[in-house]
């Protein structure tokens, strides 16, 4: 009878690293009256102004001022634009592909909303006073992980390589 060989062990070291980067936005906003900057799209497609009051308000002569880094966009509302209670007016960048359907959807002519890591969108009344403002700041969150693993492999015993074992006469593993 052959003596089986002990299994030999081979160790494999495995280092794995992983890095993830996520970004989100922090938004702070305030309003002095019933009009508010409801949303300022982070990619610069649109700005939404909402009437959160209980009566119709005129936006005629009001302006939206966007400051992003050293760039700014100014949009002035037409004198006939009004918002009923709870209604929203969306002002779209010229390149956003939206349909012009005032007073709810207004597409700027040849202008776009600039964006940066931090940008401010303000609604100014006819006296150029700030009545609502929204500031959006991009936050970058990065994580990285390093894993160190050791894998053990067994080499097959001689009997598993086709040696005849007692009781298994005529049986070979090929």
The structural domains of the chain, ordered by start, are: 22-143 (2.60.40.1260)
The pair of structure tokens assigned to 150 is: 């050791």
Average of per-residue pLDDT across 111-134: 96
Predicted pLDDT at 82: 96
> Is 143 or 74 the better-scoring residue by pLDDT?
74
Is the predicted pLDDT of residue 77 greater than 80, yes or no? yes
Instruction: Give the Cα separation of 159 and 149 in Å (integer).
Output: 30
11-22 pLDDT, tens digit each: 666 666 666 666
Highest mean pLDDT among 16-25, 27-36, 73-82: 73-82
Is the predicted pLDDT of residue 72 greater than 60, yes or no? yes
Yes or no: say if 90 and 64 are a contact pair by the CB < 8 Å rule.
no
Helix, strand, or coil here: 162?
A: coil
Instruction: Give the Cα separation of 137 and 119 in Å (integer).
Output: 7
What predicted TM-score, i.e. pTM, was given to this entire model? 0.67
Predicted pLDDT at 138: 81
- Non-local (6+) Cβ contacts of 83 within 8 A are 35, 49, 50, 51, 56, 57, 59, 89, 103
Provide the 10 A C-beta neighbour count for residue 132: 24
């Amino acid at each position: 009878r052959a003596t089986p060989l002990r299994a030999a062990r081979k160790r494999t070291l495995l280092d794995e690293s992983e890095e993830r980067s996520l970004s989100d936005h922090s938004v702070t906003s305030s309003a002095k009256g019933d009009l508010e900057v409801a949303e300022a799209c982070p990619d610069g497609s649109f700005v939404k102004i909402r009437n959160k009051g209980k009566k119709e308000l005129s936006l005629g002569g009001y302006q939206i001022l966007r400051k992003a880094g050293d760039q700014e966009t100014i949009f002035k509302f037409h004198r006939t634009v009004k918002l009923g209670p709870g209604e929203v007016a969306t002002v779209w960048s010229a390149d956003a592909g939206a349909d012009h359907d005032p007073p709810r959807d207004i597409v700027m002519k040849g202008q776009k909303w600039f964006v940066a890591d931090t940008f401010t969108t303000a609604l100014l009344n006819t006296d150029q006073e700030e009545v609502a403002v929204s500031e959006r700041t991009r936050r970058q969150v990065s994580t990285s992980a390093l894993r160190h693993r050791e894998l053990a492999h067994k080499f097959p015993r001689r009997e598993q390589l086709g040696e005849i074992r007692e009781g298994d006469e005529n049986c070979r593993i090929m």
